[in-house]
Structure formats: C-alpha cells, structure tokens
Chain A
Amino acid sequence: MHLRLDQGSPIYQQIIDEFKRSIARGDLGPGDRIPSQRELATMVQVNPNTVQRAYREMEQERIAETLRGQGTFISNDPDLVTKIRREMAERALVSFVQEMHSLGYTKDGMTNLVSEAYDRIIQGGDVRGDHDL
C-alpha cells in the first residue's frame, strides 16, 4: 500500500482512498480479508490510531466489517464495486469539469475533447498521454 503524502490531506483519508482504489481496480474483492489495524500500521508506518480511524470510517461507510476474533474483511456487498467506482468517477468528473470550465471550455467543447482523448489514449494505446499536441 502506497500513501501519497504530497497532497496534504489527512492520512486516514488517504488510507481509505487507497482501499477504495484497490476495490475499484479489483485487487480487493467482497469478503477479502484485510490486514489487522496493527499490521497495517506497521506495514505502512503510520500511527495505529490513524489506522483505527480509517477502519472505523470504512465500517461506517459499510466498505469493511470487523468480525470478532476473525479479523477485518471487505464487505460482502455485491454492489460495493459499482458504488465505489461511481463515487471515484464522480470525484474525477467534478475536478475535471471545474478545471475545464475555468479554462473556458463549453459543455460541447469538453465532450468533444473527451471523445478525442479517449480515442487517442485508450484505443491508440498511448496510455502515458505524452504525445505532441
């Protein structure tokens, strides 16, 4: 698990986001066991109280559940992946639309650029995106 600390966001939030990314990518699935709080704290070298807060929030959001004496698991919710992907997409969209809007692009202009970029980056295999404009 890699924590990106350059963003200045709280560590517990970064831990939750990292779990969400793993679930969205399919690296973690419903019912999978995740490290105990102390294990994760030692693994990523973060204060155990911070990990505890991240796990508590994940339990409240029903992303994970702790079974007494057995450990902590990703929730057995079939809609979990869809829910998390939607949430992460929403976050990416909000920042994208706000940024493009501030650059002066209209709705149609943005849509066209997205379509073009998709063809070039995904279908053209230019995943790095470091092409000449």
Chain B
Amino acid sequence: MSVATTTFNGVVKRFGNKPAIADLSITIREGVFMGLLGPNGSGKSTMLKLIAGLYRPDAGSVLIDGEAPSHKTKAKVAYLPEIDHLYNWMTVKGTLDYISSFYRDWDQSRADELVRFMGLDVDAKVGKLSKGMRARLKIVAAMSRNAEIVLLDEPLSGIDPPSRSKVLGAILSEYRIGSQTIIMSTHDVVETETLFEEVLFLKNGQVALLGDAETLREERGKSIRDLFEEVYE
C-alpha cells in the first residue's frame, strides 16, 4: 500500500486580515509520526483543516500525493477534530456504525478491539458519556480506519489523566508504523514529546523549528519541551 506525501507550497490562509498560515512551505514525509506543536493561535488547527480539505488556501497550494484535497483525498485522510462532533442521541455502537458507513477503509475488528481497550460501553448514549469517554470514542473513530493520513487535532484537550493515557496508548498500539502518517497537534509537549518521530513548531503560521525529535535532542542536548520553551518564550 502506498502512503501519501503531503506538501504545502507557499500556503497563506487568512481570517479577516490576520494570516493564520503565512507563506508556509513544507513537505511531510509519508509514514511519519509528526508532532505539530505551538501555543494556541499558532496555526496548528488551520494547518490540519487545510490538509483535511475543510479550508482552502487563499494563496499557494496544499497537495496530497500531488492532488488538492477533494472527495478523493478525503477517502485516505482520517481527521479527528478538536471540537466534539458526536451526536448525543446516538449510542456508542450507533456512532461507530454511522461513521463506518462513510468509509471503505473501516476496520471493524480493530474498532471492536479499541472499544474494549478504551473501556467503552457500546450501549451507552453518547450524551451520557463523560468528557474523557467522549474523547476516547473520538479516538476509536479516527484509529479504526486504515487511512493513509491521520490528523489528530488536540486529542488530549481538556480530558482527565486516565483518559489521556488511554488515548495515547491507543494511538501507539494501533497506528501502522511506516504505512500510516500521523500528524498530531498539541500545545501540551510535556506529556506527548516521546510519541513523535518528527516535530514541527509553528509560530504565527510559519515554521519556527522542524526536525527529527531524537536528532534534535542529541544535537541540542535538550528535551523537546525545553526547545518548546526556547522557541516560544
């Protein structure tokens, strides 16, 4: 199975007068697990939405395997939004059945396994789930697809420590090494830095630092969290 390469060529995305992404050019290697880092407002979510095809660039181009985001690329991109997109009236099982109906790459046995690992009750109504359980369900939805690119926008945002640990565990145990690209945005580097092969620090919609996480530690003699403080102080 081929894996998709994602490229940004001089991409600009503005909201009003303010550029959220300002002349960004970068190639995201296929099969990499990348941490998209930066404080709130640095352009992380916008960058993910551009790849997911939810936003169109005002200038420049975003290409997935040479193609602009479309229905065709959406079939190979799984996107976990930061906002809660689940329906309260559905059950856990109903939610997963509903999502699975949209995607040909849905892996039901993986979904079943993840639901067990997450400790989710399949018959529970989504509206009755705690915030942590809802976050777990969102991860099940994103990781049950054999998507070539998985975009995770702040998957740990606002959830309790046991759920954070479960979410990270599920990502690490389920992602297909080398044949699946994961781009995960977070402003919480302390908890997540060991997950990433590569890190991209965004600042005002531009690249502030990009590199292999282990190489950065070796060359700079600093942890990613220390580099984060250095870049954004």
Contact = CB atoms under 8 A, between A and B. Distances in A.
Contacts of A7: 223
A45 B217 contact: no
Contacts of B197: 47, 49-50
Contacts of A46: 172, 194-195
Interface string B203-231: 00000000001100110111101100000
A88 interface: no
A82 to B, nearest CB: 29
A69 interface: no
Interface stretch (A36-44, A57-65, A99-107, A114-122): A36-44
A47 B226 contact: no
A78 interface: no
A8 B214 contact: no
A123 interface: no
A5 B214 contact: no
Contact of A45 (B195, B213, B221, B223): B195
Contacts of B225: 5
A127 B220 CA distance: 34
Contact of B223 (A6, A41, A44, A53): A6
A89 B214 CA distance: 26
A8 B173 contact: no
A7 B172 CA distance: 24
Nearest to A38: B173
A45 B214 contact: no
A12 interface: yes
Contacts of A41: 172-173
Interface of B: 33, 165, 168-169, 172-173, 177, 193-197, 213-214, 217-218, 220-223, 225-226
19 contacts: A5-B223, A6-B223, A8-B222, A9-B217, A9-B221, A10-B214, A10-B218, A11-B217, A12-B214, A41-B172, A41-B173, A42-B173, A45-B169, A45-B194, A45-B195, A49-B33, A49-B197, A50-B194, A50-B197
